[in-house]
Amino acid sequence: MAEAQTTFPKFHNEAGKKNVRVGAKEFECIGALPPHDHPHVYLDMGEGVQIICPYCSTAFVFDETLGPTDSVPPGLLYADGKLTER
């Protein structure tokens, strides 16, 4: 039997915005782009609609009108558009 897998995107906040909107409730924040990234931390908004990264203090706000890898400002998805599996 296959194990259930969850995929989630990674976002960076290279521009240092205070708030960003994302279309995923579960994701990883890496802070700035490598090599200046902070430890890649898994964040889960759970029942809420926002979460603050403990490393870079970015406030991520869920926006249901966005796709799971989209962000406002756009282009914060890290790397090649691939989703990470866990």
Binding of Zn ion by 43 (CB under 5 A): no
Between CA 9 and CA 69 the distance in angstroms is: 6
Beta carbon nearer to Zn ion, 54 or 67: 54
Residue 3 or 57: which CB sits closer to Zn ion?
Answer: 57
C-alpha to C-alpha distances, 29 to 2, 4, 22, 32, 84, nearest whole angstrom: 28, 23, 11, 9, 12
Q: Which is nearer to Zn ion, 7 or 57 (by Cβ)? A: 57
- Positions touching Zn ion (CB under 5 A) are 29, 31, 53, 55-56
